[in-house]
Amino acid sequence: MIKFFVTLFYSGLSPKASGTIGSIAAIPIAILLLYFIPIETFWLLIFLVFIAGAKAADIYMRKTAREDPKEVVIDELVGMWIAIAILPDFFNPIQIALAFIFFRVFDIKKPSVIGKIDAKLKNGYGVMLDDVLAGFFGGLAAALCVKIYELGGSLWN
């Protein structure tokens, strides 16, 4: 059951780009949830999945005796959900695509504090926190692009 959870329904078992596949798997789940629950409840759910994911990742890492196994993608779900939750319109496919791209860039490149957390914390919280920050910065970058585009549109019309 732990493996099913941390691999996000086994999407993390993809032989290539497991983090990207996990991020893609997180999108329809987020959209479906946001259709039925208010954004405040979604933020609470993000927090709860973060806590459960950190504990489950710890257990899984102990069982496999590996540090941050690539198949663990519950962190991608949390990061992607944060990026989507920050968007001005989380049902807009272009905004979701922007959030996905920025989240993946921040998650892969791990600039600044994201990389420091990834390097220092070698437990379930470390696995989760770098993606939380990547999601936060990815969502902000996507939202900023949307706002700049909207501002540009009103300036040129």
Domain boundaries, the chain: 2-156
Residues 124 and 67 sit within 8 Å (Cβ to Cβ): no
Please state, in angstroms and rounded to a whole number, the distance separating the CA atoms of residues 146 and 89: 10
User: Sign of the C-alpha dihedral, residues 104, 15, 28, 42?
Assistant: negative
Residues 88 and 95 sit within 8 Å (Cβ to Cβ): yes
The pLDDT assigned to 154 comes to 58
The pLDDT assigned to 122 comes to 85
DSSP letters along 41-107, please? Answer: HHHHHHHHHHHHHHHHHHHHHHHHT-SS-TT--HHHHHHHHHHHHHSS-TT-HHHHHHHHHHHHHHH
Nearest to 138 by CA among 93, 76, 79: 79
Contacts for 136 with CB less than 8 Å, ≥ 6 apart: 82, 83, 86
Q: How many CB atoms are closer than 10 A to CB 96?
A: 20
Residue with tokens 């990061």: 79
Per-residue pLDDT of the chain in tens (157 residues, 90 and over written 9): 999 999 999 999 999 999 999 999 999 999 999 999 999 999 999 999 999 999 999 999 999 999 878 999 999 999 999 999 999 999 999 999 999 999 999 999 999 888 888 788 889 999 999 999 999 999 999 999 999 998 886 555 4
Contacts for 132 with CB less than 8 Å, ≥ 6 apart: 50, 75, 78, 79, 82
